[in-house]
Structure formats: C-alpha cells, structure tokens
Structure 1
Amino acid sequence: MNISGFIKKLKTKLNSDLNKEIDEDTLTKYDFGNIELYNNELNINNDLKEYINYIIIPYYQKNNPGKLNSKQYKFFKSTLTNSTITNAKEFQSVVIKYNPLYTEDDCFFANLKNYEAKYPEEANKFFNKILPFIIEQALKLPEYLTKPIPLLGKNMNIAITINKLQALSLLANQFLCIFTDENHEIYDTPPCSFITLFSPMKPSLDSTVEKIRTVIHYFDKMRKRNLEEIKSELLTYQRISLNKESLIDWKNQKKGLCSVRIDTETSIEDCKGMMQVDFANWYLGGGVLTNGCVQEEIRFTINPELFVSMIFTQCLDHLESAYIIGTERFSNYTGYGRTYAYGGDYDDNGTLFDNMNRKETEIVAIDATLFCTPGIPQYYEQFSNKSVMRELNKFYAGIKENKYSDLEKDIYIATGNWGCGAFNGNIELKALLQVIAASVVGKNIYYCPYDKTEFADQFGLLLKKLKKLHTTTDILFNYIEEYYSKVIQNLPKNSKPEVTLFNYILKNIENINNENNKKSEEEKVKEKESKIKEKELNENNNEKKQEDIKEKKMENEKEKEDIKEKEKEKEKEIEDEKEKEDIEEKEKEKEIEDEKEKEDIKEKEKEKEIEDEKEKEDIKEKEKEKEIEDEKEKEDIKEKEKEIEDEKEKEDIKEKEKEMEDEKEKEDIKEKEKEIEDEKEKEDIKEKEKEMEDEKEKEDIKEKEKEKEIEDEKEKEDIKEKEKEIEDEKEKEEE
C-alpha cells in the first residue's frame, strides 16, 4: 500500500472511532490506564485495543508503527553522521536532504542564523559539541523505545509514562526536524517540528532567538549528565476527559469558599508542592514553536520535556485537560512576550521525587475559551450561563481528583489570570469561576496576578467580605447569573456596563449589611415594647401607677416616634452616604482611568525610548557588521585571487592532459574506424554468402517446380493413354 493510501485508510479508521466516541459518549467511561512505555510495554486491556491509534514515529514503518524501517533509519543515520555541520547554513542543507519540501532561501533557518550572529561563542559550542550529542540521542530512539506510542485521543482517559532518556531522544528528533506534520494532519495533534521555530513566518524576533538559546541549554545540561542514571527518572503525560454523567450541578453546590492567597511577587512556576496551571491553547504548546512567548510558551521553554506532549496529544475538547507530571525546569528567564530573554541555568535539585521517581512538579494544561476583544458586544457573552458553565467544567476537568497525582487532596492550585491575555477573558469573572471550581473540589487557590496589583487589592477585599457573610458557592454562582441578567443582557449596543462584576457583588453585600442593621434596630424596639406591656400587667391595680403607665405610654409613644424619626434620618444618611460613595467611586474610577492613561503614555514613551535605543544599537551593530563584512570582503578578494591563480594552474594542467587525451582519443577513433571497416567487410561477406544461398535456394525451388510440372505432364499423358486404352478395349468389345 502506498503512503497516501495508508494515510487515507488511517484517517477513515480514526474518524470512525471518533464518531463512535462522540455519538455514544462511551469512551470517557473507560480507563485506558497508565501505559508503561518506560518498560517498553503496551499494558492495554484487550477489549480497549481497538480504540487505540498509534502515532507515526521517525525510523518506524508508517503502516506498522511497531516495526523499524531499516532503510529509512540507515538513510537518516548516513545523512546526519556523514555531514559536516559547523554553522546554521550547513545545518539547513542537511535538514533539506531529508525534508526536500524545505528551501535554501535565506529566510529558512533565519532565527538560528540570528542566534549564530548574536551569540557567536555559544553558537560555536553548539555546532561543535551540543549538536553532535543531539544527533547521537536522536538516532538512539529505536534503542530507547521499542514499542509504538499511543495517541492521547479525544474522549479518552489515558496516560503514558516514559523515562527521561526516551523524552530526550524524542525531543532531539523534534529539534532536528525529523518529525513532520503528518501526525498533525492525520490526528490533529499540534505541529511538533522545530522547523517553525528556526524559520520565522514573520520577521525574526529577539524573544524567539532567546527561546532557541533556552532549549539549547537543556541539551547542553543533559549532555553533561550520566545517561544511565536518568533512565530511572520518569514522566507521565495524561489526558483527562469528562462525560456528561460526571458533570457538576454548579447552581446547587452549597460549599464554603476555599482559602485564597494572593501573591503579586511570585510566579506560578515558583510555587513548589502545588498543582501548577498552564494557561493552555487547545493545541498544547500554543505558539511556542513560532513567535509566541507568553505564559504557556515560556513554561514549555524552561521545562523542555513539555515539548514531548505535543507529539502525541490530540487537540483538547471542551470537557478535557492534559496533566503532566515530572518535568524538570532547566532555565531562568527575564521579561515576558517580546521582552522574554534566557536568564541562565536553573538548579531544580530542590524539587523532590514522588513514589514513582517523578519530579514533584505537576502541571495541568487547561484551555480557556477565546472571546472577542473588549469593546465588541460579543465580548460580554462570556458572562452568559452557557459560557460560564463551559469554563467551570473545563477548569474542573483539570483540577478534579486524579489517581496519578501524588499531591494531597486539599493542596493549593497555583493559578492566576487564566484566559485573560490573548484569549480576552474578563479577569474578575475568571477569578471567581476558579474559586467556585476549587471550592467544590475541596482544593485551595494560590493566586499569582503578576503586575495586576489594583485588581489584586479589589479581589482580596471582595473575598474578605464574602467570607465574613459565610457566602457559599451557590450564592456566588447566583451573583454571576444576576449580573448577566440584570446588567449585561440589557446593555445597549456598543456600550460598556456601568458597574463591574466585583462592584455589583460588593453593592449586594452592602445591601445585605444594611438590611441586617435595620433588623437589629427593629428588634430593639420590639424588646422595649414587650417590657412596657409586662410592666403594665404588673401594675394593673394601682391607679397612680396606671396614670404613670399612661404617662409612660405617652412617653414611649413619643419615644417610638422619635425612633422612627431617627430611622428615617438614618435611612436618609445611608442614602446620602451611598450617593456619596457612588460619586467617590465614579471619581476613583475616573482617577484610575486617568492614571492608566498616564501610565499608557509613559509606557509608550518608554517603548519609544527603548525602540530608539534599539535602533541606535542596531545602527552600531550594522556599522560593526559592515566593517566585519568589508574586512571579510578584502580577505575574500585575496582568497579569490589566490583561487584564480590556483585555478589557472589547474586549468593549464587540465589543458595538457586534455591534449594528451585528445591525441589518444584520435588514435582510438582510427582504431575504432578500422575495426568498424573490418566488421563491415565481414558483414558484407556474410550478406553475399546469404544472397548466394538464397539464390541457390530459389533455383532449387524452380527446379523442383519444373520437375513437378514434368511429372504432372507425364501423369496427364498416362491418363490420356489409359483413356485411349479403355476406348480401344470398348471398341473391341463392340465389334
């Protein structure tokens, strides 16, 4: 079967399986278990094997992923080990040999070329020491991994565990661009080849070059380790899928709010001993192999063993998450987005190992919904019940109880502004949804808001007031529903809500407090009236006392009126205070907006200064490069002149050799012509002999024909003579 036919058959099988899963919602009920590839075993229940697909792995047959393709392996080995690679251009040429669809254009491998230009010493070490190690480890894949890798597919609860050495070899094959897009096209896994990291679709960014530096540091660090020892260190890659039966009834979950700690100084990756959230793309890794460089991309870059998950994890669906245990952090970094930079080595020895000998680093990849940009009406649809339920279920899929996790049940979840960057999530809504989900599951939140300090203060204040009122998850869920129905749903087109979600909830809390205060005053009045009645009964027989009572009654009546008057005054004061608070709040919001505007202006000015500074540096760098180029050009000219002289000398030698060859060739031609003439003469003789034979044969035929004619003539005469005899005989008889 040809490859295109195989792929078509494979797609048909996959689509058939997926349809079965989606229609029946059955696969999510099965547990495919933890497949122990570190032991080179496929410990899969026989009843479930029909649902397993295997990804295409380098050096193995495509239609039989468990069998080595020896011819292909020899080709890759020969190409990689017999080629000299001392720079990015030579590396590019080697990659093109086994990826002929790629090109020799200058933009191809531009990021790696920029790395080479910007960090020449590091690049020299990379090409001479680190790259040979990467090639060696890539080619050891058939030795390290003898079983095919199952696809972590949609609607499956499945995990695979590999060792650190197998992960190193798989990542080396990704780095060398030996993995292609075939798995992405067939199985809808993320594109996992580093070709897109080396070759930018857009102009090369410094942050992308820094990502390459960070990954190279991983290989350099692994190069110096005892590889036999790291065989025992394990990594688990898990896919979690929910079915409809296991979903939570969020509206009716009456759970107390969990503990929430807010820390503006700490990053998620520094929260040891906690479940750490990766603000994921539905394709794991997001833009890590292109120009992307935000939370998920940075995490993959500093923990490079996360890259391996991209090889075999199918695109995540709405009720799914990915859970990865045991990856090691290798690098520090500075900046974020376009300012990201490699920050040197990170020592992760302080992270302990669990009972399976995995690093106690547990990362859960949860992809939020991508919403419209703020200002567009559809942006506010994220407050709708449908969107809220989707995000709660999605977050729950990531943080629910997990039998492969070694963390305590009530641990902290290190999270933050999940889905609030490029995915345009509302930061207040997302924070409260994470609190609801964690509270229902029985875990706590360690919130890292990064530079959102103003939001952090508001969030802390709101949580404090909610806790004081003993608010439960159902009440908080109801606040969000009310906010959508009362504020968002009736919002005029192209306008913003007058009140934020946090402020809406705070006003509700304030109203509850006012009602509680009012009830307290009324209870005091009732208590006083009760005492008066009691006194009236006790003094019923005494006239004077009765008069006193009447007098007292009048006083009490007056007191009641005074109390009512005071209540009215207090209500008026509360209303005035509320009005004043609203005015102050609006003024504060205006101040915040003005402050933000000033900060934006400052930031733009700062960016402009940075750009100007960078431009100056670029000009200096270009001038320096020009000097180097001029110097190089002079050397090239000298070298060229030397080459021309050498070339001329070679040409003279070649010319003499050519003359000798021509002379010899002429002699050969004459000899050949003589042979041809002799051959022709022989052929003429043969032809003549053949003609003579043919002539003789013709004469023989003619002679035979003549003899035949004579015989025929004689035969005719004999017949005539016979007839004559018969006639004579007859005549005689008649006589």
Structure 2
Amino acid sequence: MNCLVCYFKSIEHKMPEGHLSITRKVLRKEQYPDYSKSDKPITDIQVTSSLIETFYEHRLHADFANKSIGGGVLHGGNVQEEILFVIKPECLVSMLFCEVMDIDEAIIITGAEQFSKYSGYGGTMRFEGEFQNTTETFRDEEGRTFIKNSIVAFDALMAYGTNQFDVKMMQRDINKAYIALKGEKKTPNEYFVTGNWGCGVFGGDKELKAVQQMIASSEEGINLVYSAFTQEKFKIRLEAFVKFLQSHKVTVGQLYNNLLTYPTFTTLSVFEHIIKEIDPTSSLQPTPHPSESSLFGWTLQDIPFLNTLMDFFKD
C-alpha cells in the first residue's frame, strides 16, 4: 500500500513523461525452432546476486509471472511479480485487459517507471521511500518516447518434484522462455536480466530453470545476466557450470539434447548430468547439493523409503 501511495504522491508533483506499451506476444507451435539441431553458441552469461531491477543499463528484465499477469498483487502477494508491480505501478494497467496467458503467449511491458524503493522479500518486504528514476529514455520507430526498460512476463509451469523433468514439461517451459524473448534482440549486445524463474511457490528446480532459459536466450542470440539472489551455494554452482559451457564451446543443440536425457531418479543434479554427458572426464563438477526445489528442503535421497524405491527401479 505504501508503494502505491508513493506513486500517487509522486505524480501529484510531476506527471510521468513518455509512453507505456503493453504487448501480447504469440508464437504458434509450427514457429518453434528445432533446438535439437541448433549449432548456435551459448551466449554470454553473467552471474550475480544483485536484484534484477537494479540493472538499469540493460533493457530486458524478467517478470516471473503468474499466467494471470500480476498474480496476487491486489490481494496480499509479495514475491517477485507482485513486488515488481507495486514499485512500478503502471504495470497494474496490464491486469485490466490482458487475459490469462496461453501456452504459446508472453507479455512485454515497455516504459513502466519505478517509483518506490524497497527491501526484503515475501513476508520481510518493506517500503523504503521514493525512488529517483534516472533510467535512460529512447524513441521507437514511430517517434514515441519510452523509459529504457521492458518487462518480460512469462509463466512457468507449476511443477513439484520429479514431474518437472518430464520431456514435454521441460520443452513447454523452454518454448515459453523463447516466446518471451523472440524478437527482443534490439542491439547486437542485448542482455536479458533474469533469475530463478518458477522456483518459489511453483516448485521449480533452480538448475533446470537456469538451463531452460540459457537454451531459449541463446537460440535468440540474447545474453543473460542471471541473479541467483540470496542463493550463494547455487550461485557458485551456476558459475562453475557456465565456465564449463564456455570452455567446451557447448551449442544450444548439445545443451538441449543432454537436458532431455536427464533421468527422473538420479543422484546427479541437472548441471552434473549435463557435464557428465558432454565430458565424462571433466574435473569441473559443481558441488553436489540438496534439491532446493523439494518440499520442506528434503531430497528424494533423504527419505529411506524413496531410497529403497529408487534402488528397485535402478535394478
């Protein structure tokens, strides 16, 4: 509420300048690329702990959207999308006329200005005062002025546990990320600032969601700034994995094909599996980790009954 009050106080003193554009993007199934045959290189990937919205030098920022854009912003929600919509209240307009996103759709909001500062996340989120916007502006081909920021809203599947490693489910979210980024490379050195998409209440595995976004962005030729946020152990693993991809000159096709062979029951993480498949002799193995997507923080291997069950299927 304080963020919205701040917005109205701000525009009382000075009305925002420029335009706001909300674009609904659709890409039909026959337009999806054949990732399995792609020889495009994995683009530059920079790993950080900083918040997505602090990268003012880069235009494309991720919105880890609910399929109903805005999610729970008007009834108590306080995670990534909801925070984004209250510090940039012009985004709320999209909720008036954007229908529920279909499997082949994403939404781009260009020109939304930030009015509030905040700290924390979820239950610890707090309003920290008015934000002084210094973001650059640009003119589009029609001569309209926009703040140099485009919010890329794309929804991940709700996927707890091992069902998210089903091939069709993995392909669905790769395609969803690709739809969001298709046609968004406006400069030769375009970056998409993103992070742990679908890894909160949606239950996504962080390594899986990172690889899916790498495939989609690299296929479109867009670089990544990837925020691991407060997940320091994951940040270290991700940096090691990115270094491996770069040193082995891995292509989109290689990354995609090896991701799709990830077994449902395994002691390897997604990163470890891909490294093993590409170079079994590689010594650059990310640190083994407990699954950060499992309910209550348990891995399948932590539960004796499931351990026995997995051994049965392995035999």
Sort the TM-score into its range (normalised by shorter chain): 0.7 to 0.9
> Which of residues 165, 174, 177 in structure 2 aligns to 1:383?
165
- Gap change, CA 1:589 and 1:424, over 3 Å in 2: closer
Which residue does the alignment assign to 2:53? 269
> Which of residues 419, 425, 428 in structure 1 aligns to 2:207?
428
Which residue does the alignment assign to 2:153? 365
Residue 510 of structure 1, CA deviation: 4.5
Q: How does 1:66-145 map to 2 (within 5 A)?
A: none
Contact 1:285 1:296 in 2 (8 A): yes
Which residue does the alignment assign to 1:443? 222
Deviation per CA, 1:36-68: give whole Å up to 9, x if none.
Answer: xxxxxxxxxxxxxxxxxxxxxxxxxxxxxxxxx
Which residue does the alignment assign to 2:306? none
SS in 1 for 2:280: helix
Deviation per CA, 1:133-180: give whole Å up to 9, x if none.
Answer: xxxxxxxxxxxxxxxxxxxxxxxxxxxxxxxxxxxxxxxxxxxxxxxx
Residue 409 of structure 1, CA deviation: 4.8
Instruction: Return the structure number with greater relative CO, CA threshold 8 A, min gap 6.
Output: 2
Residue 224 of structure 1, CA deviation: 1.0
Residue 244 of structure 1, CA deviation: 2.1
Which residue does the alignment assign to 2:7? 218
Residue 410 of structure 1, CA deviation: 3.7
Note if 1:417 corresponds to 2:206.
Answer: no
From the CA coordinates, give the structure whose radius of gyration is larger: 1
Query: Mind listing any 5+ residue stretches in structure 1 that lack a counterpart?
Result: 1-211, 373-378, 492-496, 514-577, 598-735
Contact 1:352 1:360 in 2 (8 A): yes
Contact 1:279 1:368 in 2 (8 A): yes
Residue 512 of structure 1, CA deviation: 4.8
Q: How does 1:483-632 map to 2 (within 5 A)?
A: 483-484=262-263, 488=264, 491=265, 497-512=266-281
Amino acid in the other structure paired with 2:280: N
Contact 2:20 2:146 in 1 (8 A): yes
Which residue does the alignment assign to 2:174? 392
Aligned alpha-carbon RMSD (Å): 2.3
Query: Mind listing any 5+ residue stretches in structure 2 that lack a counterpart?
Result: 298-315
TM-score of the superposed pair, with normalisation by structure 1: 0.38
Amino acid in the other structure paired with 1:502: F
Which residue does the alignment assign to 1:244? 29
Contact 1:354 1:360 in 2 (8 A): no
TM-score of the superposed pair, with normalisation by structure 2: 0.86
Q: Percent identity among equivalent residues?
A: 32
Which residue does the alignment assign to 1:137? none
Provide the aligned length of Structure 1 versus Structure 2: 288
SS in 2 for 1:234: coil
Distance of 2:246 and 2:24 partners within structure 1? 35
Distance of 1:388 and 1:319 partners within structure 2? 14
Which residue does the alignment assign to 1:317? 102
Distance of 1:399 and 1:461 partners within structure 2? 25
Amino acid in the other structure paired with 1:219: F
SS in 2 for 1:483: coil
- Gap change, CA 1:409 and 1:314, over 3 Å in 2: farther
Deviation per CA, 1:173-209: give whole Å up to 9, x if none.
Answer: xxxxxxxxxxxxxxxxxxxxxxxxxxxxxxxxxxxxx
More strand by share: 2
- Gap change, CA 1:292 and 1:247, over 3 Å in 2: same
Contact 1:401 1:409 in 2 (8 A): no
Distance of 1:384 and 1:368 partners within structure 2? 14
Contact 1:325 1:361 in 2 (8 A): yes
Which residue does the alignment assign to 2:303? none
Which residue does the alignment assign to 2:73? 288
- Gap change, CA 1:448 and 1:395, over 3 Å in 2: same
Contact 2:120 2:126 in 1 (8 A): yes
Amino acid in the other structure paired with 1:358: F
